[in-house]
Amino acid sequence: MEILQLLEASPLFFFIATGALGLVVGSFLNVVIHRLPIIMNTTWTQECREHLGEPPAESADQPRFNLLTPASRCPHCGHLISAIENIPVVSYLFLKGRCSACAATISPRYPIVEAVTAVLSVVTAVHFGYSLQTVTALLFTWALVPLFLIDFDHQILPDSITLPLLWVGLFLSLFDVFVDSHSSIIGALAGYLSLWSIYHLFKLLTGKEGMGYGDFKLLAAIGAWVGWQALPVVILFSSVVGAVIGISLIVIKGRHHSQPIPFGPFLAAAGWMTLLWGNDIIQLYLQ
């Protein structure tokens, strides 16, 4: 209770604590980003083999692999990463970006994800202040970070993240945390059906698939959080950013126009911005 009172009484302490928590969560999100696609691929492979009546590809005595086990190791030498080597951002700087055992280079992406998660968390806390909105908006933020990077890397949006995000958004609408239930339910329906319609229209006209079903679910989840009124802002943000980045990749890096670019990262970024500033943008437009 004393800690909660201190968080409420001291905005500075509240922001620092939120940033520190964001660093820790960002460290865990690195694990999610790396392991969840592997877990999904393993599950799909096992299900396909079972459907075809083939024996399991893995033996029963093989060690478990999930988000918690086994402990993190260096991918080059297998060195078990100790707790002191796993302090977000600090350990990377102390080790100068190299494994303490084999001196192999550690990807700078790990501390970047930790730092970005912490920054997004603090921005969220500053915007909503000491409130229930901050707690729930942090959950929203932390869910979008792995969705952004997993879709960027593998062009998949895991149901294990998007569907809970959808249901939590609908549940919060019962208490008018961000929007009322009417706006949330219609937002979820409109979010899913809008991209679903575009997908099938594009496929009918071109014979190609312009996006995946994960994009429908993600926009439905975002719609449940921000309401149907803010969906045009989400779609506008994501489309503009996606178009700018897509054209830049074609012009600057010579990327072929037929090479697919995942839409999920742009939806995730637009959804986060809309949750924080969507109402302000709508009011500015109406004025």
d(CA 185, CA 25): 29
User: Domain check: are 195 and 137 in the same one?
Assistant: yes
User: Domain check: are 30 and 122 in the same one?
Assistant: yes
User: Domain check: are 25 and 143 in the same one?
Assistant: no
Amino acid at the residue 109: R
Torsion, CA 264, CA 269, CA 270, CA 274, rounded to 10: 140
User: Domain check: are 139 and 196 in the same one?
Assistant: yes
Q: What is the pLDDT of residues 50-102, one digit of tens each?
A: 888 887 765 555 678 888 888 888 888 888 888 888 899 999 999 889 988 89
Looking at 87, 102, 127, which one is the last position of a domain?
127
CA quadruple 250, 242, 38, 104: dihedral positive or negative? positive
**Domain containing 228: what range?**
131-287
The CA angle 37-153-215, to the nearest 5 degrees, is 80
Q: What is the pLDDT of residues 235-248, one digit of tens each?
A: 988 988 888 777 77
User: Domain check: are 65 and 172 in the same one?
Assistant: no
User: Domain check: are 7 and 106 in the same one?
Assistant: yes
d(CA 75, CA 42): 19
Q: Given this model, what pLDDT does residue 112 score?
A: 96
Number of domains making up the chain: 2
Q: Given this model, what pLDDT does residue 61 score?
A: 59
Distance of alpha carbon 16 from the chain centroid: 22
Q: Given this model, what pLDDT does residue 253 score?
A: 67
Average per-residue pLDDT for the chain: 89
Min mean pLDDT across 15-24, 144-153, 245-254 is at 245-254
d(CA 124, CA 129): 8
- State the DSSP string of 243-266: HHHHHHHHHHS---TTS---SHHH
Q: Who contacts 272 (Cβ-Cβ below 8 Å, separation ≥6)?
A: 120, 140, 141, 144
CB 216 within 8 A of CB 244: no
Q: What are phi and psi of 179, to 5 degrees?
A: -140, 165
Q: What are phi and psi of 73, to 5 degrees?
A: -135, 160
Distance of alpha carbon 180 from the chain centroid: 24
CB 189 within 8 A of CB 220: yes
Looking at 79, 94, 127, which one is the last position of a domain?
127
What's this model's pTM, rounded to 2 decimal places? 0.92
DSSP H stretches of helix in 52-108: 90-94
